Structure 1
Amino acid sequence: MSATQTAPAAASPSPASAPVKNSRGRVILASLIGTTVEFYDFYAYATAAVLVFPVLFFPTGDPLTAQLASFGVFGAAMIARPLGAVVFGHFGDKHGRKATLVASLLTMGIATFIIGLLPTYAQIGWFAALALLILRLAQGFALGGEWSGAALVATENAPAGKRAWYGTFPQLGAPIGFIIANGLFLVINFSSPSREWFLEWGWRVPFLFSAVMVIIGLWVRLKLVESSAFEKASTKGAIRKVPIGTVFRHHWKELILGTFFMLATYVLFYLMTSYTLAWGIKPADVETAQAAADAAGTPFDAAAFFPGGGFAYPEFVTMQIIGVVFFGVFTMLSGPIADAIGRRRLLIWVTLAIIVFGLTFNVFLMSGGSPRFAGALAQAFLIFGFTLMGATFGPMGALLPELFPTNVRYTGSAVSYNVSSILGAAVAPLIALALWAWVGEPWLVGVYLSVMGVLTLIALIIGKETKDVDYEEAGFSSSAVL
């Protein structure tokens, strides 16, 4: 055989030897679909927690107590999230991201679907509230591993210099999930034959519908391959036997920083969704709501339930959806900016703006005046708040994972993200509602947001820039951020 005949075979690698990589479309969809389901489920519960759960699951006889109980179960999921972060982070750092992401999405989907099938207090008494609490804890446990895994899928497969941009893809699940969940609630509200039908059956549809998105997400994620960063860590023998132990022994400073980096983001996020919904809607059709409560034998004062801004539910949710469009746009814009100027510099400026925004609550949410003027102020409030939300939330998809090396990245970013959910998201609706009830005006709720912003600002000033860290570092120590 001549040399010219054998040369091509010697020079061309066999197709089997070429490394398999995830396509950009697969990375985007796999990281986006899970967080979309995550936030869809959370928004569905948050909406139901204001509209129906106090009547159907927590009929205490006092509207404020019923609402606090409903928000309390909402916050209980945040308590379970750090446990989920430890468990899913452990398996994600030891065995890879793919299987862990499939398991978290499946757990989340099953729990949400069953919520849509639950009997109410009128049917089984307080066992209904207990079942809701258990399923909410299951949701939180699954969510503990979902976000971090999705962020790692996006950023560990990102091209050089575009980690923050790719990191915004899982963050987009928040605005997309909000629009789908609240849009569905809005359609159901408009199409419901009666208020009683909505309270009995209509609210269940969004929870049951989540199964469709879960199936799509599972199909996409099962086609993923592991990132080169995790494969290199595995090849070099850098996988830790107990990742959480390594994180707490050698990366505790990064854990603390990451937790406070997210604090203002979480508080702003839940104030702009759950609290504003509780503030904004009026007791429209209270007679039918009261009739439904009376028929179910639940001691509930519907007229006292919505003491806030005086908007009809469809009107205010439409206003929220308009604000969330800005949330999505500025989430995407924040990625390229963070890649260009750095995560820390961008977030310092955004956090300063959040602190100022918190001090303006009474300007935007003032009572009195013409309905048109009040509506314009409330819409401006929602647009400003959700714009800031996008600008602060977008860079977190890259920032938190960059604090940790590959071998403990899943665990470290998940724990810091989810511990912050307890300090911020779990208590934010409860604190806001209590402060609002205490003074009867929203200004103190805004001060609460500003104080949380100051804590985040201090953490950002202490921390250092992470955009140039070696993301495929597989060793024991992370690039320093202090």
Structure 2
Amino acid sequence: MTLGTTMTSALAPGDRASQRRIAFATIIGTTIEWYDFFIYATSAGLVFAQLFFQPAGKEIALLLSFATVGISFLFRPLGAFLAGHFGDVIGRRAMLVVTLVLMGAATTLIGALPTFAQIGIAAPICLLLLRILQGLSAGGEWGGAVLMAVEHAPAHRRGRAGSWPQLGVPLGFLLASGMTALMTGVISPGAAYLQWGWRVPFLASVILIVVGFVIRRSVEESPVFAEIAKRGKQASLPIVTLFKRYWHLVILAALVFVGNGALGYMTTGGFLNSYAINVQSIDTTAVLIAAVFAAAVWFFSTLLAGYLADAIGRRNTFLIGFALQAVIVFPIFWLVDAGGLPGLYAALLLISTGLGLTYGPLAAWYAEIFPASIRFSGVSITYALGAVLGGAFAPMIAQMLLGATGTTAAVSAYLLFATLLGAGATLCLRDRSGIPLGPDHEAEQASGATMFTPREAAGAPVGELAGKR
């Protein structure tokens, strides 16, 4: 029996226990990674403009603060290139540990960083350098986490398994928002919070590093990579192969993520928080608690999307999510403008539901698009490029559009464009649910991923897979 056949069979009881360990490890590790990433974005909208960019003036300082959120995304592809190369050569698990430690160290150091008032221009420079390290780590972490989950799973449960590391993103956002809300609630967002309170969530990361390190070290290597390594078939230059033969898949799949990222970073990138606090004058702690609510909704909609992806297919689930996003991009700001805090909750409910439906199936679909020997490079680089194009500067673009037009209509139009772009790319890709992921099936994996190739080259349709369960 080949590895590809083994991985499509039903799980034995021992395998189910292994699946639970993998789920726990990927969720916990990804939560820690993204807590670190989002705590920065949350603070960028609340305090960094005052602490690191104040001499530029209030408006420019806020733009510069949001720009540092985006600039880190430019380094995510580099992190994806490095982690993708070594993940395809030395293994998925090793890169998961490295990226976790790098992210945690950068976050902890931000918590100890002197401000502009203390060391002048060196403060924003150091802040930017540490944010770049966060970007490198985030670029490499995601690919390893999703492949550990998806490549361990049987074919009919890949959608659910792929949603596990995805759940770490809303959980990380929930933890970051909750921690900041706790600090602003206990310490009023005045002198004390600006002086030292904002540092606590960053410094707490050192504890999370230890927890995540222990958990990720305990996870077994992906069975797909273990088989590749056993045969000595690691690609020597996986990135070269990726861009030479599969560049079109990288572009299309990255554009799918653009449709999710632009809307997602209205919340996780801090723009909506800043808008609610600075424009609508809603209490800071109340806004952060609302963000916790949004993260909880995002968590459950992502989990639901994983199940839907197995039931109706990755592509169909995406299209439903994009349809919802297209409908809500204008009303979400109307709700905040007219409804105050209740309106903010309603807007976040709509945003988070759409985000989950276009995020939960992403891991399984990306893993099924690329051949086994270059899969880490493929999913990591595609995800990183999608994040750059869709989320990197979304908060800054939104802030510029708001400042230039004085209305959120321009921001909504921008979000609608990104959503339609993602939906269009989705229509160009074929659902590959059920395709074997092992190294014995690279020929099948290498063809039929787009709607422009013969259908017989693609993997088994969802309907056929469902009939085999």
TM-score between both structures, scaled by the size of structure 2: 0.89
SS at match of 1:108: helix
Q: Which of the numbers 436, 446, 451 marks the counterpart of 1:478? A: 446
Residues 338-370 of structure 1, C-alpha deviation per residue, up to 9 Å, x if partnerless?
A: 101100011112112111211324432335xxx
Q: Would you say the 8 A contact 1:272–1:386 is kept in 2?
A: no
1:385 aligns with 2:351: yes
Structure 2 counterparts to residues 131-150 of structure 1, below 5 A:
131-150=126-145
Rounded to whole Å, the distance in 1 between the matches of 2:16 and 2:405 is 57
Rounded to whole Å, the distance in 1 between the matches of 2:233 and 2:433 is 23
Larger radius of gyration: 1
Rounded to whole Å, the distance in 1 between the matches of 2:21 and 2:446 is 28
Rounded to whole Å, the distance in 2 between the matches of 1:139 and 1:147 is 13
Segments of 5+ residues of structure 1 without an aligned counterpart are 1-18, 282-305, 368-372
Q: Would you say the 8 A contact 1:164–1:398 is kept in 2?
A: yes
**AA aligned opposite 1:331:** T
Rounded to whole Å, the distance in 2 between the matches of 1:313 and 1:240 is 50
Q: Which of the numbers 390, 403, 407 marks the counterpart of 1:437? A: 403
Residue equivalent to 1:467: 433
Structure 2 counterparts to residues 34-433 of structure 1, below 5 A:
34-192=29-187, 195-273=190-268, 274-281=270-277, 306=278, 308-367=279-338, 373-433=339-399
Q: CA, structure 1 residues 244+22, in 2 after alignment: closer, same or farther (shift >3 Å)? A: farther
Q: CA, structure 1 residues 161+42, in 2 after alignment: closer, same or farther (shift >3 Å)? A: same
Rounded to whole Å, the distance in 2 between the matches of 1:444 and 1:68 is 17
SS at match of 2:164: helix
Structure with the largest fraction of helix: 2
Rounded to whole Å, the distance in 1 between the matches of 2:355 and 2:46 is 24
Aligned residues: 434
Q: Would you say the 8 A contact 2:302–2:360 is kept in 1?
A: yes
Segments of 5+ residues of structure 2 without an aligned counterpart are 1-13, 451-469
Q: Would you say the 8 A contact 2:162–2:362 is kept in 1?
A: yes
SS at match of 1:161: helix
SS at match of 1:481: coil
Q: Would you say the 8 A contact 1:26–1:220 is kept in 2?
A: no
Q: State the shift of 1:440 in Å.
A: 1.5
Q: State the shift of 1:260 in Å.
A: 0.6
Rounded to whole Å, the distance in 1 between the matches of 2:334 and 2:23 is 39
**Percent identical:** 35
Residue equivalent to 1:8: none
SS at match of 2:112: coil
Rounded to whole Å, the distance in 1 between the matches of 2:164 and 2:42 is 24
Residues 284-336 of structure 1, C-alpha deviation per residue, up to 9 Å, x if partnerless?
A: xxxxxxxxxxxxxxxxxxxxxx2x12200011111222222111111111111
Rounded to whole Å, the distance in 1 between the matches of 2:344 and 2:198 is 26
Q: CA, structure 1 residues 444+138, in 2 after alignment: closer, same or farther (shift >3 Å)? A: same
Q: CA, structure 1 residues 164+321, in 2 after alignment: closer, same or farther (shift >3 Å)? A: same
TM-score between both structures, scaled by the size of structure 1: 0.87
Rounded to whole Å, the distance in 1 between the matches of 2:401 and 2:439 is 46
**AA aligned opposite 1:419:** L
Residues 240-265 of structure 1, C-alpha deviation per residue, up to 9 Å, x if partnerless?
A: 10110010111112111110110011
Q: State the shift of 1:449 in Å.
A: 0.6
